[in-house]
Amino acid sequence: MEAELSAQRQQVYILEKNAEQDRRLLVQMEDDAKTQEDKIASLLRELDRSQTDGSDSGLQLVKERKKTEQLEKELQEVTMQRNDFEDELEDLRPQVRKLQTQVDAMTKQREDLKRLHSEANDKAIKNQELANVHGLKFSEQQKSNATLNKIVKKQDTNIEELNNKIKVSIFFVYLS
């Protein structure tokens, strides 16, 4: 479960990192688009000036129009890429939310398992303490039983001796 959680977090990290790179690229593209727009505006102003100057204006106009067309194509490409990145970013957001939800669920599950593990450990410690107490009582009971057995053996021996003495006494009384 730890491994799954780690993998999910790594996926979220990668997606966030990719999203951040896409955002930076988008900002860069927007800056490039602004630069291209500025170039187009500059070229158009230059074109206007060159038309008023009248020196090789036809040739200059053709060159400027080609530059303008090229810059407009670049601007369209940059705009399309930006739109693609925005779409991709929007597509990634639900995945990131889903992964975050999974990470949250796994984190909660992990915390629940930690809590259950702690409770099981506490119960095991209490059971061990009870086992130790019962072990001590058992040991004391065995010692008491051993002592009682010694006393009983001693009493049995004493009774046997008394029985023998009684038999001997009866035998002497019977003989006399």
The string of pLDDT tens digits covering residues 25-61 is 888 888 888 888 888 888 888 777 766 655 556 677 7
| Chain segment 77-88, per-residue pLDDT in tens | 888 988 888 888
Cβ burial of 92 (10 Å; 0-12, 13-18, 19+) is: middle
pTM exceeds 0.85, yes or no: no
Q: Which position has the higher pLDDT, 123 or 79?
A: 123
The whole-number pLDDT of residue 125 equals 95
Q: Which of 65, 34, 24, 31 has its CA nearest to residue 48?
A: 65
The whole-number pLDDT of residue 110 equals 93
Angstrom distance (rounded) from CA 171 to CA 175: 6
Q: Which position has the higher pLDDT, 174 or 73?
A: 73
Domain of 98, in residue numbers: 2-175
Q: How confident is the model at residue 126 (pLDDT cuts 50, 70, 90)?
A: very high
Angstrom distance (rounded) from CA 117 to CA 59: 84
Joined tokens for residue 49? 């000036």
Whole-angstrom Cα Rg for the chain:
50
Q: Which of 30, 55, 60 has its CA nearest to residue 44?
A: 60
Q: Which of 154, 155, 152 has its CA nearest to residue 144?
A: 152
DSSP 1: -
Q: How confident is the model at residue 113 (pLDDT cuts 50, 70, 90)?
A: very high
What is the number of structural domains in the chain? 1
Angstrom distance (rounded) from CA 173 to CA 59: 164
